[in-house]
Amino acid sequence: MRGEKLIALQARGDALRGEISFEPCQGCHRIDASGRTSGSYPRLAGQHGTVLIKQMTDIRAGRRNNPKMEPFIGDHVVSPMEIADIAAYVSNLPIPKEIGQGPGTGIAHGKDLFAKDCATCHGERGEGKGEKFYPMVAAQHYRYLLREVKFIRDGDRRNSNPEMVKVIGQYSDEDLEAVADFMAQLVAPKK
Ligand code: HEC
Ligand code: HEC
Q: Look at residue 2 and tell me whether its pLDDT is greater than 70.
A: no
Q: What confidence tens digit (pLDDT) does each residue in 22-63 have?
A: 999 999 999 999 999 999 999 999 999 999 999 999 999 888
Mean residue pLDDT across the chain? 95
Question: How far is it, in rounded angstroms, from Cα 9 to Cα 81?
Answer: 9
Judged by its nearest atom, the ligand closest to the C-alpha of residue 55 is 1
Contact residues of ligand 1, CB 6 A cut-off: 24-25, 27-29, 41-42, 44, 47, 52, 55-56, 66, 68-69, 72-73, 78, 86, 135, 147
- pLDDT-derived band at 188 (thresholds 50, 70, 90) equals confident
Q: Which ligand is nearest to the CA of 177?
A: 2
158 lines ligand 2 (CB under 6 A): no
Cα end-to-end distance, the chain, whole Å: 27
Question: Is pLDDT of 21 > 90?
Answer: yes
Residue 133 CA to residue 91 CA, distance in Å, equals: 13
Q: CB–CB of 164/120 below 8 Å? A: no
Residues 78-122 pLDDT 10s? 999 999 999 999 999 999 999 999 999 999 999 999 999 999 999
Smallest CA separation from ligand 2 atom 6, residue: 164
List pLDDT tens digits, range 139-162: 999 999 999 999 999 999 988 999
Of 38, 52, 64, 66, the one to substitute when testing ligand 1's pocket (max ligand atoms within 8 A of C-beta) is 66
**59 vs 4: CA distance, rounded Å:** 12
**pLDDT greater than 70 at residue 191:** no
